[in-house]
Amino acid sequence: MPANVKALFFDVFGTLVDWRTSIAREAEVLLKPLGYSIDWIAFADAWRGEYQAGMEEVRSGRIPFSKLDVLHRHNLDRIRPRFGLDRLDEKAVTELNLAWHRLDAWRDVTPGLVRLRKKFWLAPVSNGNISLGVDLARRNGFPWDAILGAEVAGDYKPKPRVYLASADAFGLAPAQCMMVAAHSKDLSAAAACGLRTGHIARPDEYGPGTGESAPKVPVDVAALSLEDLAAKLGV
């Protein structure tokens, strides 16, 4: 267990919340009463499928920083034709876009965070924007000390600036912070910035058996859940 860690930074989508079944459910709740019947899980996957390309526009400098809510809307507009949703009115599209603010946490997350908060400062270091982070926190009871991440840094993970700006916001050296994620790419980018790393197994992120059940890169701690992480960090 790495000594001297003062803060834990959390990836959110996939690591803390089950975006896939939540987006499928929210889309169905909103669109079914309007007469739509589509493959809701395929819709969730397609929307998420545009995620990296949207952020890459910002990371590459081709467009100025835009909040994830804005990128999600752009991505939604791209996939709507594929699902016959071209003629949804503006009010319904705006509401649908906010589905990302109504995601449910994996079962272990809130009790794990409450336990970890006794020993560490906690913040999301997510690509989600601040208001999205607040909505998820209120919905799921996440006990954050602050909402950090892309919007505070003005760029998207895995750009180094996001990890380094988050450590700086807490007044800590990178080695005093641990990035916690279910994605090895996020962790290797954080490690390259000098942060400690903790991997959480989320084997079902894209459906049963599709996610990382173990890290693909060297990490400081590998855990099966946030409760397991708490135990391994001695809380």
Residues near a second copy (CB under 8 A) are 67, 69, 121, 129-131, 133-134, 137-138, 144-148, 151-152, 169-172
Specify the residue, 32 or 138, whose C-beta has the smaller distance to a second copy.
Answer: 138
Distances (CA, A) of 155 to 8, 66, 134, 182: 20, 9, 19, 21
CB of 9 to a second copy, least distance (A): 13
CB of 147 to a second copy, least distance (A): 4
Specify the residue, 136 or 229, whose C-beta has the smaller distance to a second copy.
Answer: 136
CB of 152 to a second copy, least distance (A): 6
Specify the residue, 56 or 145, whose C-beta has the smaller distance to a second copy.
Answer: 145
The tokens describing 231, both together, are 């135990």
CB of 196 to a second copy, least distance (A): 18
Q: In terms of C-beta distances under 8 Å and separation of at least 24 residues, what long-range contacts does 79-83 make, across chains too?
A: 79/43, 79/46, 79/47, 79/49, 79/50, 82/46, 83/38, 83/42, 83/43, 83/46
Specify the residue, 132 or 187, whose C-beta has the smaller distance to a second copy.
Answer: 132
Gap between the Cα atoms of 206 and 18, Å rounded: 9
CB of 146 to a second copy, least distance (A): 4
Specify the residue, 22 or 129, whose C-beta has the smaller distance to a second copy.
Answer: 129
